Amino acid sequence: MATVSLPEARRTIVAVGRWLDSKGWAPATAGNYSMRLDDGSVAITVSGRHKGRLGEEDVMRVDMTGASLDGKKPSAETALHMAIYRDFPEAGAVLHSHSPQAVGLSRAFPEAIGWTLAQHEMLKVYPGIATHDLSRTLPIVDNSQDMAVIDAAMAPRLLDADALPAYLIRGHGLYGWGADMAEAERVIEATEWLIAAELAEIGFRNGSKA
């Protein structure tokens, strides 16, 4: 786990917001990003800001319950970030992206509770994986406006020894995390790429090149 100062977290989160927006994974005001701070609190994006146009003032502090420490308003999904920090003490950064591919995959298979990723070289991006010759399941949980419902559905599955540091909320988007922001970025980018590759394979199998 890596911790950083608030000024460093603000600069890093502003930069990652621009990067995710450039990928098309942060439409409108969607998404939220956080980092664990060296004083035991968490820096997280303020609610309702466009992530491609963040300023450092759009990154606030919350305690480990998700309560604001500076009077600014955090996203309702702050609770999901806190759940990851609670369950994974090694997590230093959490990212939430909203690609059309990730949302589309979760909606196209409404009964799926996970998506198996097998024999992909890209799997080696994830921490602790050194070969393509295996499979891992990306969990999918139904969306809810009650973050406790999402947490209760997802937490037991993420604690499995073979769980990826990522999951999908159906019709909503992707969560991924890492020991630091660089690792969280790799997890998000690898997972988004794998989802796009899986959708391309489905398209080719069905006779479409789209």
Binding residues: 96, 98
Is 32 inside any structural domain? yes
Is 187 inside any structural domain? yes
Q: Which residues pair with 114 in a beta bridge?
A: 139
Give the pair of three-digit tokens for residue 25.
């994974």
pLDDT of amino acid 209: 55
> How many domains would you assign to the chain?
1
Contact yes or no for 14/56 (Cβ under 8 A): yes
Is 129 inside any structural domain? yes
Is 153 inside any structural domain? yes
Domain that holds residue 106: 6-205
SS (H, E, C) the chain: CCCECHHHHHHHHHHHHHHHHHCCCCCCCCCEEEEEECCCCEEEEECCCCHHHCCHHHEEEECCCCCECCCCCECCCHHHHHHHHHHCCCCCEEEEECCHHHHHHHHHCCCCCEEEEECCHHHHHCCCCCCCCCEEEEEEECCCCCHHHHHHHHHHHHCCCCCCCEEEECCCEEEEEECCHHHHHHHHHHHHHHHHHHHHHHHHHCCCCC
pLDDT of amino acid 76: 86
Q: Which amino acid is at 111?
A: E
Task: Say how far apart CA 75 and CA 42 lie, in whole Å.
Answer: 13
pLDDT of amino acid 9: 98
- Residue 4 phi/psi, 5-degree rounding, is -135, 170
pLDDT of amino acid 89: 94
CATH of the domain at 147: 3.40.225.10
Is 1 inside any structural domain? no
Mean pLDDT by 10 residues, the chain (210 residues): 91 98 94 96 95 96 96 93 96 96 95 95 95 95 96 91 92 97 98 96 78
Contact yes or no for 44/60 (Cβ under 8 A): yes
Task: Say how far apart CA 174 and CA 30 lie, in whole Å.
Answer: 11
pLDDT of amino acid 51: 94
pLDDT of amino acid 44: 98
Is 174 inside any structural domain? yes
Is 210 inside any structural domain? no
Please name which of 87, 93, 67 lies closest in space to residue 78, comparing C-alpha atoms. 67
Binding residues for Zn(2+): 96, 98
Task: Say how far apart CA 132 and CA 65 lie, in whole Å.
Answer: 38
Is 141 inside any structural domain? yes
pLDDT of amino acid 206: 86
